[in-house]
Structure 1
Amino acid sequence: MNGTQSRFETKNANPGDLTRIVEDLGRAFNEFKSSNDERIRKVEKGAATGDLDVKLANIDKAMTELDDVKASIDDLVKKSARGGLGGNGQSAEQAEHKQAFGRFMRKGVDDGLAELEAKALNLGSDPDGGFAVPEELDRNIIQFERDSTPMRDLCNVITVGNEEYQRLINTGKASSGWVGETDARAATGTPQLARVAPFFGEVYANPEATQKMLDDVFFDAEAWLASEVAIEFGEQENDAFTVGDGVKKPKGFLAYAIAATGDATRPIGTLQYVLSGAAATITPDALLDLIYSLKTGYRKNASFVMNSLTLPVIRKLKDGEGNYLWKPGLDAGEPSTLLQKPVVENDDMPVVAAGSLPIGFGDFKRGYTIADVRGVRVLRDPYSNKPFIGFYTTKRVGGGVMDSKAIKLMKIAAA
């Protein structure tokens, strides 16, 4: 690898390239370590490191690309194992609804569609809000979103019938203790319960097609719609699940109140943060503090979440014995890890800067819930932007922290 261009090829990769991708990732990591070690030696001697900084930046970029391609291939293998997208065993009502929805998309014919929708989906009527998509298309949109939305892959995702979903949590234990066989028992305290619920909002997308496209018998209109709206929904939702303010949208986990206090004294709904250990950067000790701020029961399934721009900082860190803390996943299905915990890239996370929260760590499936309200709806619009036909597609979705003890944050110390 030279100073300006990667020699590792990542384009047009497929499952058959997994071995090559893994080997390239391993070689890139070894080259990164040797170059970084050389940079450290030069820094210690007071020598210039400009050439090595450029080289490291290029290797780091190559590793990120290889890591992303490997993750995509791993996902393709998983899909192949479970039979890919789509559904089997449709009822007669669902099959008839799907055919009618296809006619509606291609020709705008909606005769009887509302009745078929009610039979197939058991959803309430909404004549002003378009028509609900068939169940198979609804599942495919969600699956496409999961593939492109890090938070969906990381968090607990449920489907609900309305926006009334909530959970009850115990905010205070009943009294308890040890007693002898004949000792008097104090009165049992009543547990204190609190309600937690996602914040809901409506997200929309308006992909457009020409009538000529729709008239083409080889054009898969439903697959096109699923792909187009999933891209738009995914970008909007991932941002909301990460940093959303909860106003007409989900509330992101970074939007909740934060405090340095531990679980025993911190209010419910407030996330704990750990300082980075040094001004405007991250230390290995701070990462260990972050991990062990999480209780044992949560650590088992915990992951790191960070922006891809934070990875170059993390990849340079070593422990006291000179071992790198970040390691690439060099086996099929194995993710890259930091201190033996998976690393998830989420580019809606902040970058490393004084006062920012660039790293989340925790069991997000227990900590954060995404709630999809059943029934993506489509309104066909052939008038607003002739000759294009718009498919105004809406979906209601919620998101919020359900267990504030399950997620910890790293806060970068001020200068």
Structure 2
Amino acid sequence: MAIDEKDIGEVAKELKGAFEDFKKSNDKELEAIKSEKRMLEEKTDKLNEKLGELDSLKEELEKEIKAAKRPGVAAGAEVDAHKTAFYQFMRKGMEDGLTELEVKAVQTTTSPDGGYAVPEELDRTLLELLKDESPMRSVCSQITVGSPDYKKLVNLGGSGSGWVGETDLRPATGTPTLAQLQATMGEIYANPQATQTSLDDVFFNVENWISTEVAREFAEKEGQAFLLGDGVKKPKGILAHTLTDEVDKERDFGKIQKINSGLAGGFSGDNLIDLIYSLKKGHRNGALFMMTNLTQAKVRKFKDSEGNYLWQPGLQLGQPSTLLGYGIEENEDMPEAVADANAVLFGNFKRGYLIVDRMGTRVLRDPYTNKPYVGFYTTKRTGGMLLDSNAIKVLTLAA
């Protein structure tokens, strides 16, 4: 049978029509895939955000339960009298006998700028509130001292040892190398304001107000300093120390090892495993991760080679959520996951960093500067020091 141009034209026309139908159908399929993908991504992001909210809520509820179980501080006659006089000073500005009561209550601090030391009970409450508010205080070691500075000797090794027989002479051993560490201290301040009317109100809880307001301000400033502070008029933070890729055996004391992720601004579950095992076994007991909420949202999506999620929620009271079996401390002062950022810390922070508080918080009452408000200029001397630079490791998101 002869085939003419008319037949070819009809086939071509049908082919064109079929191709147009195919394109429409394929475009719809692709659009449906994109739409479904967008829906799934939106759903996943919302669930991820919900996980973060629920995880934070669980931690807050556990803190409230812990706070409710705290034992009270026993008070003596001098302490009670100092407390009563101090709150009269807070409400009315009355200073009669407060200086003498302050001395009898064994307060050790003085200030050339004036003001009065808060009662010991309030000082302890403030420290407890700071521990609840500050991520750094909740994981690092803390000490309270009476002097304006704090020093500590650490052994860097070098002490000789060896094997000898029962009757052999005992040779002298080498002298251990000691280093003196000194906390970098600074004075932190807050200046909460209240109206005289509210202070005159018998139902206004001055103690609770001053402690919560001051704790909130202090926690924000000092938490950032313990992590990032440059040591000038403030504590020197963990990430302000020299970071190097040298391992523990090669690195000088005081320098912290960093692990590069191999990808600028990104990292993987394998990087987290490398971070964990860069820490000596003795330090891994009690170690945890530290990162921001957004970085934690990223790691919730990580899986191992068998498809298991690396992040697991804590479902029992007192059981935190874990990443590769280790706890996570959320700290919004940590750098976000961008190129060259030190976005993840892992370590035993109690062994690695010490927060030093000088005993005594002082309050200067100021009813004049910002009328009709009464300001309470509150100061506290605090500092920090790196105790063991082998106890903390840093994941740097760099190639």
TM-score (norm 2): 0.88
Structure 1 Cα separation of the partners of residues 60 and 34 of structure 2: 42
Instruction: Write the distance in 1 (CA, Å) between the matches of 2:207 and 2:34.
Output: 62
SS of the residue aligned with 2:124? helix
Cα pair 1:277 1:283 within 8 Å, conserved:
no
Given that 2:290 and 2:328 are in contact with CA atoms closer than 8 Å, whether structure 1 keeps it comes out as yes
Say yes or no: does 1:359 pair with 2:347: no
Whole-Å separation in 1 of the counterparts to 2:149 and 2:65: 37
Length, aligned pairs only: 368
Q: Say if 2:230 is the partner of 1:245.
A: yes
Matches within 5 A, 1:305-316: 305-316=290-301
Q: Which residue of 1 aligns with 2:195?
A: 210
Q: In the alignment, is residue 368 of structure 1 matched against residue 339 of structure 2?
A: no
Q: Could you tell me how far apart the structure 1 residues matched to 2:369 and 2:353 are?
A: 39
Matched, 1:74 2:59: no
Deviation at 1:259, TM superposition (A): 0.9
State the Cα distance separating 1:170 from its structure 2 match: 1.4
Name the aligned partner's letter for residue 169 of structure 1: V
Partner of 1:293: 278
Q: Residues 40-92 of structure 1: CA distance to partner in whole angstroms, max 9, x if unpaired?
A: xx9xx999833322222211111111001000111122223334xxx342010
Q: Deviations over 1:374-413 (max 9, x none)?
A: 1100000011111111000000100121111111111112
1:365-404 equivalent positions in 2, closer than 5 A = 365-404=350-389
User: Pick from 151, 168, 190: which aligns with 1:166?
Assistant: 151
Is 1:191 the equivalent of 2:163?
no
Instruction: Tell me by how many angstroms 1:94 deviates.
Output: 0.3
Aligned to 2:243: 258
Q: Distance in 2 between matches of 1:187 and 1:338?
A: 48
Q: Cα RMSD between the aligned structures?
A: 1.8
Distance in 1 (CA, whole Å) between partners of 2:61 and 2:79 is 32
- Per the TM alignment, residue 279 of structure 1 is displaced from its structure 2 partner at its CA by 3.5
- Match status 1:177 vs 2:162: yes
**1:327 and 2:312 equivalent?**
yes
CA deviation vs aligned residue, 1:267-294 (integer Å, no higher than 9, x gap): 1100011122434211122111111111
Partner of 1:59: 47
2:103 equivalent among 118, 121, 124: 118
Among 63, 80, 86, the alignment partner of 1:95 is 80
What's the CA shift string for 1:136-174, capped at 9, x where partnerless? 111111111111111100100111112331111112321
| Alignment partner, residue 21 of structure 1 | none
Alignment gaps of 5+ in structure 2: 1-29
Distance 2:262 2:270 in 1: 7
Q: Distance in 1 between matches of 2:148 and 2:391?
A: 24
Name the larger-Rg structure: 2
The CA deviation at 1:185 is 5.2
Output the amino acid matched with 1:365: K
Looking at structure 1, the residues matched to 162 and 349 of structure 2 have their Cα atoms a distance apart, in angstroms, of: 33
* 1:16-165 equivalences in 2 (<5 Å): 49-83=37-71, 87-126=72-111, 128-165=113-150
Q: Secondary structure at the match of 2:293?
A: coil
| TM-score where L is the length of structure 1 | 0.85
Change (3 A) 1:56 1:46: closer
Alignment partners' CA distance in 1, 2:278 and 2:171: 33
Could you tell me whether the CA contact under 8 Å between 2:283 and 2:348 is conserved in 1? yes
CA distance in 2, matches of 1:121, 1:411: 47
Is the CA contact 2:107–2:117 (under 8 Å) kept in the aligned structure 1? no
Is the deviation greater in 341-350 or in 182-191? 182-191
**Change beyond 3 A, Cα 1:92–1:181:** same
- Report if aligned partners of 1:376, 1:395 keep a CA contact under 8 Å in 2: yes
Contact kept in structure 2, 1:277 and 1:285, CA below 8 Å: no
Percent of pairs with identical residues:
52
Deviation at residue 183 of structure 1 after TM alignment: 5.1
- Distance in 2, matches of 1:190 and 1:153, equals 37
Offset of 1:308 from its aligned partner? 0.7
2:48 partner letter: D
2:303 is the counterpart of 1:318:
yes
Match of 2:327 among 313, 338, 342: 342
Q: Is the Cα contact below 8 Å between 2:275 and 2:395 reproduced in 1?
A: yes
Q: Give me the whole-angstrom Cα distance separating, in 2, the residues matched to 1:246 and 1:298.
A: 26
CA contact (8 A) 2:258 2:395 kept: yes
